[in-house]
Amino acid sequence: MADNETLVSAGGTFALGFFTPNNSGDRRRYIGIWYNLNSDSRSNGIDQRIVLWVANRASPITRSAGQLSVAAHGAITITNRETSTVVWSVFTNSTGLSNPVVELLETGNFVLREEGDSTRNYLWQSFDYPTDTLLPDMKLGVDKAAAAATGVNRNLTAWKSEDDPSPGEYCAALVIGDNNSPEMYLFNRSSKPWRSGPWDGIQLGDLKNWNSNGFAYSFVNNHKELAFSYQASGQTFLPSLQVTNSGKIYMIIWSSEDGGNWKLLWETPASPCDNIGWCGSYAICVDSTNSPTICRCLEGFVPKNPAHWESRDYNDGCVPVVGLDCRKQTGTDTDTDTDTATFLAVKGVKLPESSQSLR
CATH of the domain at 175: 2.90.10
Q: What is the pLDDT of residues 218-254, one digit of tens each?
A: 888 888 888 999 988 666 788 999 999 999 999 998 8
Give a yes or no: residue 316 inside a domain: yes
Of 106, 126, 146, the residue at which a domain comes to its end is 126
Give a yes or no: residue 161 inside a domain: yes
Q: Are residues 95 and 163 both part of a single domain?
A: no
pTM: 0.86
Residues 53, 62 contacting (CB under 8 angstroms): no
Domain count, the chain: 3
Give a yes or no: residue 278 inside a domain: no
| Separation CA 107–CA 235 (nearest Å) | 14
Q: What is the pLDDT of residues 55-89, one digit of tens each?
A: 999 999 988 889 999 988 888 999 999 889 999 99
Q: Are residues 248 and 305 both part of a single domain?
A: no
Give a yes or no: residue 18 inside a domain: yes
Residue 298 has what DSSP assignment? P
Q: Which residues of 51-64 are buried (b: 16+ CB within 10 A; e: fewer)?
A: bbbbbbbebbbeee
Q: Is residue 296 exposed (0-12), middle (13-18) or buried (19+ Cβ within 10 Å)?
A: middle
Sequence-distant (≥ 6) Cβ neighbours of residue 338 within 8 angstroms: none
Q: Domain range spanning residue 153? A: 130-270
Q: Are residues 246 and 288 both part of a single domain?
A: no
Give a yes or no: residue 152 inside a domain: yes
Give a yes or no: residue 338 inside a domain: no
Q: Are residues 91 and 134 both part of a single domain?
A: no
Q: Are residues 102 and 149 both part of a single domain?
A: no
Q: Are residues 176 and 258 both part of a single domain?
A: yes
Q: Are residues 142 and 261 both part of a single domain?
A: yes
Sequence-distant (≥ 6) Cβ neighbours of residue 152 within 8 angstroms: 128, 129, 142, 143, 146
The CATH number that applies at residue 112 is 2.90.10.10
The least confident of 8-12, 92-96, 160-164, 260-264 is 92-96
